[in-house]
Chain A
Amino acid sequence: MIDEARALQERAIREIEEETSLEALESTRTRLLGRSGEITLRLRGVSALSADERPAAGKLWNEVRAEVTGRLEARRAVLEGVRASGSSAGFDPSLPGRRPPVGLQHVLARTLNELALIFREMGFAMADGPEVETSRYNFEALNIPEDHPTREDHDSFFISDDLLLRTQMSPVQIRVMESTPPPVRIVAPGRVYRRDAFDASHSPFFFQMEGLDVGEDVTIGDLKGTLRAFVRRFFGEDARLRFRPSYFPFTEPSLELDIGCTVCGGAGCPVCKGSGWVEILGCGMVHPRVLRGVGYDPERVSGYAFGMGPDRITLLKYRIPDIRLLYENDLRFLRQFAGAS
Chain B
Amino acid sequence: MKVPLAWLAEFVDLDADPRETLRLLVEAGIEGDLESGPTIPDGVVTAKIVTCEKHPSADRLSVCGVDAGDGRVRTIVCGAPNARAGAIGVLALPGADLGGGMVITPRAMRGITSEGMLCSAKELGISSDGDGILLLPDGTRIGVPAARALGGAPVLVLEPPSNRGDCLSIEGVARELAARAGRTLRPSAPADSAAGSVAFRATIEDPADCARYSGRILEGLAPGPSPSWIAERLDAAGVRAISNLVDVTNYVLLELGHPLHAFDLDRIHGTSFDVRRARTGESLVTLDGKSRELSAQVLVIADESGPVALAGVMGGATTAVTDSTRRVFLEGAAFHSARVRRGARALRFATDASQRFERGVDPAGVSRALDRAVELLLQIAPGARVAHALDTYPAPPVERTIGLRRRTLRRILGAELPGSDVRGVLERLAFRVVTEGEEGWSVVAPSFRRDVTAEEDLVEEIGRVHGYDRLPERARSFAQTVDVFAPRLGASERARRLLLSMGLTEVITPGLVDGARAERLQPSDTFFSPGVPLRNPLSQDRDRLRGSLVPGLLEVLAVNRARSLVDLAIFEVGRTFRGASGSGVEERIRLGILLAGAGLERSWIGAPKPCDFFDMKGILEVYVEQFGGSSPHFEVAHQPPLTADRSARVLLDSREIGRLGNLGSAPRKTFDLPEDLPVFWAEAEVEIPSERAAREGMFRPLPRFPGAVRDLAFVVPRALFQEELESALAASGGKLLDSIRLFDVYEGPPLAEDQKSLAYTLVFRSPDRSLTNEEVDALVAHVVTRARESVGARLR
Contact = CB atoms under 8 A, between A and B. Distances in A.
B460 A254 contact: yes
A246 interface: yes
B415 A221 contact: yes
A253 B459 contact: yes
Given A221-B415, A243-B469, A123 B565 contact: no
A201 interface: no
Contacts of A302: 411-412
Select the residue from B34, B507, B532, B600 with max chain A CB neighbours within 10 A: B507
Contacts of B503: 100-103
Interface string A119-163: 011111111101110000000000000010110010001111011
Interface stretch (B98-106, B119-127, B533-541, B743-751): B533-541
B341 interface: yes
A244 B26 contact: yes
A162 B469 contact: no
Interface in A270-290: 273-275, 285, 287-288
Contacts of A153: 162
Interface stretch (B214-222, B478-486, B701-709): B478-486
A284 B538 CA distance: 32
B256 interface: no
Contacts of A160: 535, 583
B545 A165 contact: yes
A165 B542 CA distance: 13
B476 interface: yes
B456 A252 contact: yes
Chain B CB within 10 Å, residue with most, of A127, A217, A243: A243
Interface in A239-271: 242-247, 249, 252-255
B719 to A, nearest CB: 35
Contacts of A326: 508
B509 A253 contact: no
B414 interface: yes
Contacts of A193: 511-512
Interface string B394-423: 000000000000000011111100000000
B512 A204 contact: yes
A130 B538 contact: no
A13 interface: no
Contacts of A220: 412-414, 463, 468, 471
Interface string B467-494: 0110111111111111111111100000
A192 B337 CA distance: 29
A87 to B, nearest CB: 17
Interface stretch (B304-312, B569-577, B680-688): B569-577
Contacts of A159: 532-535, 545, 585
Given A149-B358, A158-B534, A329 B26 contact: no
A98 B468 contact: no
A20 interface: no
Contacts of B338: 147
A46 B29 CA distance: 101
Given A126-B485, A334-B507, A247 B480 contact: no
Contact of B538 (A120, A191, A197, A332): A197
Interface residues of A, number: 86
A276 to B, nearest CB: 10
B559 A222 contact: no
A219 B575 contact: no
Given A157-B534, A287-B456, A247 B164 contact: yes
Contacts of B454: 288
B504 interface: yes
B560 interface: yes
Nearest to A103: B500
B486 A125 contact: yes
Nearest to A241: B469
Contacts of A242: 469
Interface stretch (B516-524, B601-609, B730-738): B601-609
Interface stretch (A48-56, A57-65, A67-75, A105-113): A105-113
A131 B560 contact: no
A140 B48 CA distance: 65
Given A103-B504, A106-B506, A224-B468, A330 B535 contact: no
B563 interface: yes
A44 B556 CA distance: 79
A247 B161 contact: yes
Given A157-B534, A243-B469, A329 B487 contact: no
Nearest to B562: A330
Contact of A128 (B413, B486, B511, B605): B486
Contact of B473 (A163, A186, A224): A224
Interface stretch (A4-12, A34-42, A225-233): A225-233
Nearest to A224: B473
A89 interface: no
Nearest to A252: B456
Interface in A2-32: none
By secondary structure, the A interface counts as mixed
B324 interface: no
Contact of A125 (B481, B496, B577, B585): B481
A106 B569 CA distance: 13
A96 interface: yes
Nearest to A100: B503
Contact of B29 (A244, A273, A275): A244
B510 interface: yes
B568 interface: yes
A222 B476 contact: yes
A330 B583 CA distance: 37
B460 A245 contact: yes
A235 interface: no
Nearest to B556: A329
B411 A105 contact: no
A125 B485 contact: yes
Interface centre among B482, B535, B569 (most CB of A within 10 A): B535
A219 B587 CA distance: 36
Contact of B587 (A126, A132, A147): A132
A105 B536 CA distance: 33
A104 B507 CA distance: 9
A95 interface: yes
Given A123-B479, A153-B162, A157-B537, A243 B508 contact: no
Contact of B456 (A122, A229, A288): A288
Contact of B481 (A105, A124, A221, A254): A124
A318 interface: no
B538 A195 contact: yes
Nearest to B553: A329
A105 B457 contact: no
B52 interface: no
A222 B29 contact: no
B507 to A, nearest CB: 4
Interface centre among B411, B556, B604 (most CB of A within 10 A): B411
Interface in B331-354: 337-338, 341-342
Interface of B: 26-29, 31, 33-34, 161-164, 337-338, 341-342, 358-359, 410-415, 454, 456-457, 459-460, 463-464, 468-469, 471-489, 496, 499-512, 532-538, 542, 545, 556, 559-560, 563, 565, 568-570, 574-575, 577, 583-585, 587, 600, 602-605
Given A157-B536, A242-B469, 18 more contacts: A98-B603, A101-B502, A106-B507, A122-B478, A124-B478, A127-B485, A131-B577, A149-B359, A159-B545, A204-B510, A204-B512, A217-B411, A220-B412, A222-B476, A224-B468, A225-B474, A245-B460, A245-B464
The 3 lowest CB-CB distance pairs between A and B, nearest first, are A101-B503, A123-B478, A219-B414
10 contacts: A104-B500, A105-B500, A163-B583, A205-B512, A228-B473, A228-B475, A243-B469, A328-B559, A330-B560, A330-B563
Interface of A: 95-96, 98-106, 108-109, 120-128, 130-132, 147, 149-150, 153, 157-160, 162-163, 165, 172, 176, 179-180, 185-186, 188, 191, 193, 195, 197, 204-205, 217, 219-222, 224-226, 228-229, 242-247, 249, 252-255, 273-275, 285, 287-288, 302, 326-332, 334-335
